A and B are shown apart, each in its own frame.
Chain A
Amino acid sequence: MSQPIIEFKNVQKKFGDTTIFDGFNFRVEENEIVSIIGPSGSGKSTLLRILMTLEGIDGGYINVGGESLWHMLWNGAYVPASNKHLHKMRDQLGMVFQHFNLFPHMTVKRNITEAPMRVKGLSRQEAEKSAEELLELVGLSDKADSYPNDLSGGQKQRVGIARALAMRPSILLLDEITSALDPELVDEVLDVIRNLAKEQSFTMLLVTHEMYFAREISDRVCFFDNGNIVEEGKPEAIFTDPKETRTKAFLNAYLGQ
């Protein structure tokens, strides 16, 4: 197997007295699309948040793109990452959030251009051109000058996707991106991701409760419970022929089979 683009090695994570990960191992290959399913509170979102450097870890190592995320080599020893190191590592990662987290004081266009201009140093022209292309990709060209609060949930989330893509990440993290949407708005968001998956080469890691979508889009599905991957495999295998009792129980409850 080639070098994985994401690798968790013996990762420990606690919130106070609650242990989320106790020796967690996980790897994702480049350009692989991996869905993580499982009950709430099982640590699925924490996994993404640790990768996005929104949460630290209490032990173990994580490699992203062959380099340690939370540690750096210093005088031959691994030490906790500096802000500078984290800044460099974050360059590869993008995240779309369950609650969109758009910047309410900026227009849609500025939501998308702000980071490329300020962080990557793109000129206004370059950033706006890229924003226009991305807005077209997500079908919102006519909303460039609107403010987020004037958009529907589905539109907000499509802006959220465009905003993350504007930074050209090689790894896209999608954290329950349709969970806060009205049912009739889910598809317009999932369609965008479908197209992305088809047309571009991306590593995508998604936490989702949309089982049919996970089945359709993923190269691999991981069933996650109690901070561990209970079962993983090709979507067909997981959804039609789960081996583990916990996976079966979860899918039964979810899909009503």
Chain B
Amino acid sequence: MELGEIVSVLLQGAVVTIQIVAMALPLAALMAFVFGLIRLYAPAPFKQLAIVYIEFFRGTSALIQLYWIYFVLPFFGVSIDALTAGVLALGLNIGAYGTEVVRGAIQAVPKGQYEASVALNFSASQRLVYIILPQALVNMIPPFGNLSIELVKATSLVSLITIADLTFKAKSLADMTLQVGEIFGVVLVLYFAIAQCLSLFFRYLEKRLSRGLGRGGVN
């Protein structure tokens, strides 16, 4: 098989991988913020719930979570198509790690900021939205960048539940042609390219958000 053909088949897989990332990443971010804030500010029973979510999804294998959602849940009457199952498993898994990022970043905002905002009589929600979160967001960006790259790499798991992502295409091409060197070489480059795009995006975000904070991130 010509290299051009290999690349074009693998690119189709890459598009699916990017789609999964594009859907799982917002889900992960949503979970991270919702459960991160619950973990910090909600009444005890909700906090417990958040801890159960975090510890369960961090403490078990992402692949097994994926199998559960795709293969086991149907036995309980919940059938989910492969793509949704993949997005759910990855979003919930990475989101659990993100929860701790959100919590850590908020707690890292100096206490004096909270005190000044109390002294100026901001309400609790105003303190969070206008004073604490804008500063915490900057702290979150680098670890979020890390997690998003983790997510890109974890998407290869969805090839095991029949989704024709980059890894799936690569394996089937390799089985067919045995040109493993070329195929897995191209796959490496493509995963790397996707990860680089995210990396650049987060660096840009960090620079924009840290205006005035006197810590401009890496250039």
Contact = CB atoms under 8 A, between A and B. Distances in A.
B138 to A, nearest CB: 8
Contact of B212 (A94, A104, A163): A104
Given A115-B122, A118-B130, A167-B121, A106 B212 contact: yes
B213 A52 contact: no
Nearest to A90: B121
Contact of B119 (A83, A106, A147, A164): A164
A20 B113 CA distance: 24
Name which of A100, A119, A167 has the most chain B CB atoms within 10 A of its CB: A119
A114 B130 contact: yes
Contact of B121 (A103, A106, A115, A148): A115
Contacts of B115: 52, 54, 97, 101
B212 A119 contact: no
Contacts of B121: 87, 90-91, 115, 119, 167
A59 B43 CA distance: 26
B212 A53 contact: no
Given A118-B130, A119-B126, A107 B212 contact: yes
A95 interface: yes
A149 B119 contact: no
B131 to A, nearest CB: 6
A99 interface: yes
Given A118-B126, A147-B214, A103 B131 contact: yes
Interface in B99-144: 110, 112-113, 115-116, 118-124, 126, 130-131, 134-135, 138
A104 B214 contact: yes
Contact of B112 (A101, A114, A118): A101
A93 interface: yes
A224 to B, nearest CB: 21
A184 B115 CA distance: 27
Nearest to B123: A87
Contacts of A114: 120, 130
Nearest to A91: B121
B90 to A, nearest CB: 32
Interface string B188-219: 00000000000000000000000111100000
Given A99-B112, A114-B130, A118-B130, A54 B214 contact: no
Contacts of A94: 119
Nearest to A149: B214
Contacts of B130: 114, 118
Nearest to A88: B121
**Which of B113, B123, B212 has the most C-beta atoms of chain A within 10 angstroms of its own C-beta?**
B212
Nearest to A89: B121
Nearest to B209: A105
Contacts of A163: 120
21 contacts: A52-B118, A53-B118, A54-B118, A83-B124, A90-B121, A101-B112, A103-B131, A103-B135, A104-B135, A104-B212, A105-B211, A105-B213, A106-B212, A115-B120, A118-B126, A118-B130, A119-B122, A147-B212, A148-B212, A149-B214, A163-B120
User: Which 3 interchain pairs have the tightest Cβ spacing?
Assistant: A149-B214, A147-B212, A101-B116
Interface of A: 52-54, 83, 87, 90-91, 93-95, 97, 99-107, 114-115, 118-119, 147-149, 163-164, 167
Given A91-B121, A119-B121, 10 more contacts: A101-B113, A104-B214, A114-B130, A115-B120, A115-B121, A119-B126, A147-B214, A149-B212, A163-B120, A164-B120
